[in-house]
Amino acid sequence: MIPEDFLNQLANHAQPGRAEEMAAYHKVTRRYLGVGNSEIDRIAREARQTLSVEARLALAAGLWDSNVHEGRIAAAKLLTQARIRPDDRGAWELICRWVPEFDAWAVADHASIAGQKRLVWEPSRLDRVEAWTRSEHMWSRRAALVMTLPWAKKPNPKPEDLLIRERVLGWAATYCDESEWFIQKAVGWWLRDLSRRDPDRVRAFLADHGDRMKGFARREASKYLPA
């Protein structure tokens, strides 16, 4: 399947007036088709089930390069899979190529969810992610936290998971002085999810760094902490 055919398939499910609403909401200049997320998910899921890994990678690359909002969302969904066998065919490299082009939360989050799967499958890739924490590109810094959220959510972490958790908390600590809303939100989000599993560790983080966080981020981090 070529990207143009996939985009035409998506466009068949466009809702009148929705493209204009989406453009106003996301505030990023690109083409919007006006297609709901459920339709994108269904069409991408069908493609995952029928296309080879190589064909999916090629389609995802083309959809991303189209710079159509729904195309980029679909590109990420094509790669959102716990197991991609073999895992060395380029999915992780393609996601990494996208990261410096992140410019809006919806596209960034869908691509980061795809990245989460590849990181959980091969945690040694975190070395590459750590470099993003020092990037001048805000969305790359944010992606480092969004892609590592699975380690905040693990119910029975192994010793190696705890080491990764502490590593990411170290990154989060360096973000606490940043004023950018999306960075502060990401820190609060990571801590909020961790608080369900390890409330004491979140309390310790807030005791050490909470005074450098924005109020809304502290509230987010504390949302599920037991009284």
Predicted model pTM: 0.93
Residue 76 structure tokens: 């990420």
Domains assigned to the chain: 1-147 (1.25.10.90), 148-227 (1.25.40)
| CA distances for 143 relative to 96, 99, 109, 217, angstroms | 10, 8, 8, 17
| CA distances for 195 relative to 69, 112, 163, angstroms | 33, 21, 17
Residues 6+ apart with CB under 8 A from 89: 53, 54, 57
Q: What is the mean pLDDT of the chain?
A: 95
Residue range 91-114, pLDDT digits in tens: 999 999 999 999 999 999 999 999
Strand-pairing partners, residue 31, are 68
pLDDT, block means (10 residues), the chain with 227 residues: 90 96 94 96 94 93 97 96 76 96 96 96 96 98 98 96 98 97 98 97 98 97 92
* Cα–Cα distance measured from residue 40 to residue 77, given in angstroms and rounded to the nearest whole number: 8
